[in-house]
Amino acid sequence: MKETRSIMGMPITVNVADKSATAGTLEHVFSYFSSVDERFSTYKKTSEISRINRGELKESEYSNDMKTVFALSEKTRKETKGYFDIRNPQGDIDPSGLVKGWAIYNAAQLLKRQGFKNFYIDAGGDVQAEGHNENGRRWRVGIRDPLNTREEKIVKVVHLTDCGIATSGTYLRGQHIYNPHEKNKPINDIVSLSVVGPNVYEADRFATAAFAMGKDGINFIERLPGFEGYAIDKEGIATMTGGFAKYT
């Protein structure tokens, strides 16, 4: 059973290959994403994160989810030597670079707790893939050509099971990722960096940090145990880590 809806400003697809899946199964997942959007969207004036940025909430009033995301963000900041930072150049807090992967991972746990073993969840190109597809094969995920977005061309296809993939880049949303160490300098030497990790949450947070590093980001992923990466520079030249080929 498969369905796509627009939530959090992007298409979210849930595909459950297990025959026991029902419409209610997917509804449960989409409802969770809607709740995340209501809490973390920086575009909604009524969201918790917007109220925090306006100074309307004290730290003691933060939700448990918000406290969790802030703690995970700080952990990631330390692990990446400051290249991951949820405070943007304007001084506002924007945890989007971590929330999407975190939400996909949590949604996957909802399905697992219901006994489902074969599914994928794709939110804006970031994917958690579990088990196998309806044909008993690994899930196929395409990495888009960041230099040819109008035709939505795929430059690389990966085959995944029980892991996640996340892509960071400026080709769709422009310069929304920045280097915290050089806040006023745009990142333009690379345009896309995809990371495969043990789950989509881990892949997403490190993909964001690695992209902020520019061309050196792929080397950061190479040194990261359990992760593989695929970067595309402004000339369209791809560089992959040593073990990335096992997914192709």
The CATH number of the domain holding residue 7 is 3.10.520.10
Q: Are 25 and 16 in contact (CB under 8 A)?
A: yes
pLDDT at 119: 98
C-alpha 248/C-alpha 240 separation (Å) is: 11
Give the H or E element holding residue 160: strand 154-160
Pairing of strands 139-144, 154-160: antiparallel
C-alpha 127/C-alpha 203 separation (Å) is: 9
- CA 227 to chain centroid, in Å, comes to 14
Domain count, the chain: 1
Q: To 10 degrees, what angle do helices 64-79 and 96-113 make?
A: 120
Residues β-bridged to residue 190:
233
User: How far are the Cα atoms of 89, 156, 181, 193 from residue 232, in angstroms, in the given order?
Assistant: 25, 11, 22, 6
pLDDT at 152: 76
Residues 6+ apart with CB under 8 A from 93: 49, 52, 53, 86, 87
The domain containing residue 236 runs over which residues? Answer: 2-247
C-alpha 4/C-alpha 56 separation (Å) is: 35
pTM score, two decimals? 0.94
Q: Are 205 and 84 in contact (CB under 8 A)?
A: yes
Give 28-50 pLDDT, tens digit per residue: 999 999 999 999 999 999 999 99
pLDDT at 170: 67
**Taking CA 89 as the corner, what is the angle to CA 236 and CA 183, rounded to the nearest 5 degrees?**
50
Q: What percent of the chain is predicted at pLDDT more than 70?
A: 96
pLDDT at 160: 98
pLDDT at 188: 82
User: How far are the Cα atoms of 49, 69, 121, 147 from residue 91, in angstroms, in the given order?
Assistant: 13, 18, 32, 31
Intervals of the chain under pLDDT 70: 149, 151, 170-176, 178
User: How far are the Cα atoms of 104, 180, 183 from residue 214, in angstroms, in the given order?
Assistant: 25, 12, 13
pLDDT at 171: 56
